[in-house]
Amino acid sequence: MNKIQMTTPIVEMDGDEMTRIIWKAIKDELICPYVDLKTEYYDLGLENRNNTDDKVTFDSANATKKYGVAVKCATITPNAARVEEYKLKEMWKSPNGTIRAILDGTVFRAPILVKGIEPFVKNWKKPITIARHAYGDVYKNVEIKVPGAGKAELVFTGEDGKEIRETIHDFKGSGIIQGIHNTDKSITSFAKSCFNYALDTKQDLWFSTKDTISKKYDHNFKDIFADLYEKEYKARFEEAGIEYFYTLIDDAVARVIRSEGGYIWACKNYDGDVMSDMVATAFGDLAMMTSVLVSPDGNYEYEAAHGTVQRHYYKHLNGEETSTNSIATIYAWTGALRKRGELDGNAELMTFADKLDKACINTIEDGEMTGSLAKLTTIPNPKVLNTFDFIKAIRNHLDELL
Ligand code: NAP
Ligand code: MG
pLDDT in tens, 122-137: 999 999 999 999 888 9
Answer whether 72 contacts ligand 1 (Cβ < 6 A): no
3-state SS, residue 287: helix
Mean pLDDT of the chain: 95
Least Cα distance to 296 among 207, 197, 220 occurs for 197
Answer whether 306 contacts ligand 1 (Cβ < 6 A): yes
Question: What integer pLDDT is reported at residue 101 of this predicted model?
Answer: 80
Question: What integer pLDDT is reported at residue 297 of this predicted model?
Answer: 81
- Which amino acid residue places its CA nearest to atom 21 of ligand 1? 324
Starting from the CA of residue 72, give the closest ligand: 1
3-state SS, residue 297: coil
- Which amino acid residue places its CA nearest to atom 45 of ligand 1? 311
Residue 141 to residue 339: CA distance in whole angstroms = 36
If one residue of 306, 313, 316, 320 were mutated to test the ligand 1 pocket, choosing by the most ligand atoms within 8 A of its CB, it would be: 306
Cα of 310 vs centre of ligand 1, distance in Å, is 6
Range list of H helices, 345-386:
347-365, 371-376
Answer whether 205 contacts ligand 1 (Cβ < 6 A): no
Please give all residues whose CB falls under 5 A of ion ligand 2, grouped by chain where several chains appear. 273
Question: What integer pLDDT is reported at residue 134 of this predicted model?
Answer: 82
Least Cα distance to 265 among 131, 134, 135, 133 occurs for 131
Cα of 301 vs centre of ligand 1, distance in Å, is 19
Residue 79 to residue 256: CA distance in whole angstroms = 36
Answer whether 19 contacts ligand 1 (Cβ < 6 A): no
Cα of 256 vs centre of ligand 2, distance in Å, is 19
pLDDT in tens, the chain (402 residues): 799 999 999 999 999 999 999 999 999 999 999 999 999 999 999 999 999 999 999 999 999 999 999 999 999 999 999 999 999 999 999 898 889 888 877 999 999 999 999 999 999 999 999 999 988 898 888 999 999 999 999 999 999 999 999 999 999 999 999 999 999 999 999 999 999 999 989 999 999 999 999 999 999 999 999 999 999 999 999 999 999 999 999 999 999 999 999 999 999 999 998 898 899 889 888 889 999 998 888 899 999 989 999 999 999 999 999 999 999 999 999 999 999 999 999 999 999 999 999 999 999 999 999 999 999 999 999 999 999 999 999 999 999 999
Answer whether 311 contacts ligand 1 (Cβ < 6 A): yes
Q: What is the pLDDT of residues 176-207, one digit of tens each?
A: 999 999 999 999 999 999 999 999 899 999 99
If one residue of 117, 286, 309, 376 were mutated to test the ligand 1 pocket, choosing by the most ligand atoms within 8 A of its CB, it would be: 309
Starting from the CA of residue 374, give the closest ligand: 1
Q: Who contacts 393 (Cβ-Cβ below 8 Å, separation ≥6)?
A: 363, 368, 385
- Which amino acid residue places its CA nearest to atom 6 of ligand 1? 309
Answer whether 303 contacts ligand 1 (Cβ < 6 A): yes
C-beta separation of 149 from 64 below 8 A: no
Answer whether 96 contacts ligand 1 (Cβ < 6 A): yes
Signed CA dihedral, 163, 166, 172, 176: sign only: negative
Cα of 362 vs centre of ligand 2, distance in Å, is 30
3-state SS, residue 37: coil
The secondary element (H helix, E strand) that includes residue 70 is strand 69-72
Question: What integer pLDDT is reported at residue 10 of this predicted model?
Answer: 98
Question: What integer pLDDT is reported at residue 146 of this predicted model?
Answer: 97
Q: State how beta strands 300-304 and 289-294 pair.
A: antiparallel
Q: How big is the chain by its Cα radius of gyration, in Å?
A: 23
- For the whole model, what pTM was predicted? 0.89
Helix, strand and coil percent figures for the chain, each rounded to 5: 45, 20, 30
Residue 117 to residue 114: CA distance in whole angstroms = 6
Starting from the CA of residue 269, give the closest ligand: 2
Cα of 78 vs centre of ligand 2, distance in Å, is 17
Question: What integer pLDDT is reported at residue 357 of this predicted model?
Answer: 98
Question: What integer pLDDT is reported at residue 169 of this predicted model?
Answer: 98
3-state SS, residue 203: coil
Answer whether 301 contacts ligand 1 (Cβ < 6 A): no
The CA-CA-CA angle for residues 72, 76, 82, to 5°, reads: 165
Answer whether 9 contacts ligand 1 (Cβ < 6 A): no
Q: Backbone dihedral region of 183: left (phi > 0), alpha (psi from -120 to 50 degrees) or beta?
A: beta
Tell me whether residue 83 is exposed, middle or buried, using C-beta atoms within 10 angstroms of its C-beta: 0 to 12, 13 to 18, 19 or more.
middle
